[in-house]
Amino acid sequence: MPDLVPRARSSQESIFARMSRLAAQRGAINLGQGFPSAAPPAFLLEAARRAVGTLDQYAPPVGLPILRDALGTDLGVDGADVVVTTGATEAMALLAQALYGPGDEVLMLEPVFDIYLPQARLAGATPVTVPLRLPEEDGWMLDLDELRAAVTPRTRALLLNSPHNPTGRVLTREELKAVVALAREHDLWLISDEVYDELYFGERPLSLRALAPERTFTVGSAGKRLEATGWRVGWVACPPGLAGHLAGLRQVASFCAPTPLQAAVAAALPVARQSGFYEGLREGYAARLALLADGLRELGARVYLPGGTYFLMACRPDWNAETLLEAAGVAVIPAGAFAAKAALPPGLLRLAFCKERTELEEALTRLARWAKSSSA
Ligand SMILES: Cc1ncc(COP(=O)(O)O)c(C=O)c1O
C-alpha cells in the first residue's frame, strides 16, 4: 500500500475532540469543548424548519445573497465583501490559503487557538507566536514591544483573536491601534478572529476592522453567536474587492455551507439583534461565570476572569486535566493545549461555562468530593 504524505501522518485528534469523546465514554461533566448544552433559540430553529424543503440545493460559493446582506447590515459592511463559510474554522483555513505561502511568517498571540498553527503550516508558512504573559496579580498582558520585535521581512500577516480563546482577553483600543500602526508600517494583512464578538462581560470589544478596513479580514461564527456550533455557518468580512477570490478558493473544498442553515441564520440575525437575544446571552453567561469562578476559588484555585468568551482559566498547581477527568469525572482542557513555545504555570486549565447551571454545580460538587478524598 502507498504511504500517507507526512502532513496527514502528523495529524491527530484534537484535544477538544478527545476530551469530548472521553467525557462521553466516562460519564464525565464536559467543561472541555466550547459548545453550549442549551438548545439554540426558537427563532433560529423555526427559521431552519421553514428553509428545509424549500432551499435544499447548492448555494453560491460566496454565500446565499440574503445571508450576505443580513451580515452586511449586522456588521456594518457592504454585503458584497462578505463570504459565508463552513464555520469560522473554514474561514480561517481559507485565509491561510489566500494570504500566506512558503517562506512567509504569520504572527499570532500565544496561548493560541489550536487550528491556527497547522493551518499556517499547511499553507507552507511559519507561525510565529508572541506570548501573552500572565503576571502574578493581573490578567494576561500583551507586550507590544515584543510584538513589534517579532516582525521580520518575511512577516505577511498578523492574526488576532479578541475576545481571545482560551484566556478571554479583550484587546483594548490602544493595543489595536498599535497593531494597526505596525501592520501599516510593514504592510501586513490583519486577520481578526471575532467569533466571540457578542460574548463579553465589560465594554463591547472593538472590531479591528473599524480601525483598518483596508487590510482587515474579520471572521465570525453563527455557531458561537446563535448557540448552534454544529450548523457550521461562519463568515469572513473582507477588505473591498477580495470576497470573490476567497469564494474561488472555497468552491474547490466545501463549495458552500448548508443552504437551509444559511437561510435560517439570515432570518435569525436581525431577530437576535433587535430582540435583546445577545443581551440575554451575556446575562446568562455572566451568572454562570460567577457560579463557576466562586466555586473554583472555594476549592483553592486561582481564577483568571475573562473579559469575553465562555471560557475561564483557573490554576491549582496540583491539578491536571487527566486526573480531573479520571478521578473527579470532570473534563477540562489543559492550558498546554494552547501553548506553542511559552511556559505556562502548572495546573492551568481552561473550563467552559457554556453549560447548564446544573452541570456546573455538579462539576463543582464532583471536584469538591474528589479534592476532599484526595487530601484525606
Ligand atoms: C477562537 C475561535 N476561532 C474559531 C473557532 C471555530 O468556530 P466554528 O465552530 O464556527 O468553526 C473557535 C471555536 O471554538 C474559536 O474558539
CA 289 to chain centre: 18
What would the pLDDT profile of 335-358 be if each residue is shown by its tens digit?
Answer: 999 999 888 889 999 999 999 999
Residue 309 near ligand 1, beta carbon < 6 Å: no
**What is the CA(371)–ligand 1 centre distance, in A?**
32
Residue 343 pLDDT: 85
Residue 198 near ligand 1, beta carbon < 6 Å: no
Residue ranges of domains in the chain, CATH in brackets: 6-40+277-371 (3.90.1150.10), 42-275 (3.40.640.10)
Residue 89 near ligand 1, beta carbon < 6 Å: yes
Which residue among 16, 30, 71, 89 is best mutated to probe the pocket of ligand 1, counting the most ligand atoms within 8 A of its Cβ?
Answer: 89
Task: Identify whether the C-beta of residue 215 lies closer than 8 Å to the C-beta of residue 189.
Answer: yes
Tallying the residues shown for the chain, one arrives at 376
Nearest atom in ligand 1 to 232's CA: 10
What would the pLDDT profile of 240-267 be if each residue is shown by its tens digit?
Answer: 999 999 999 999 999 999 999 999 999 9
pTM of the model: 0.97
**What is the CA(253)–ligand 1 centre distance, in A?**
19
Cell reading at 5: 504524505
Residue 8 pLDDT: 87
**What is the CA(28)–ligand 1 centre distance, in A?**
23
**What is the CA(277)–ligand 1 centre distance, in A?**
20
Which residue among 165, 200, 231, 354 is best mutated to probe the pocket of ligand 1, counting the most ligand atoms within 8 A of its Cβ?
Answer: 165
In angstroms, the CA 175 to CA 188 distance is 16
**What is the CA(92)–ligand 1 centre distance, in A?**
9
Which residue among 195, 310, 313 is best mutated to probe the pocket of ligand 1, counting the most ligand atoms within 8 A of its Cβ?
Answer: 195
Share of the chain above pLDDT 70, in %: 99
Residue 136 pLDDT: 65
In angstroms, the CA 61 to CA 358 distance is 41
What would the pLDDT profile of 64-99 be if each residue is shown by its tens digit?
Answer: 999 999 999 999 999 999 999 999 999 999 999 999
User: Which residue has a Cα nearest atom 1 of ligand 1?
Assistant: 165
Residue 137 pLDDT: 67
Q: Which residue has the higher pLDDT, 336 or 10?
A: 336
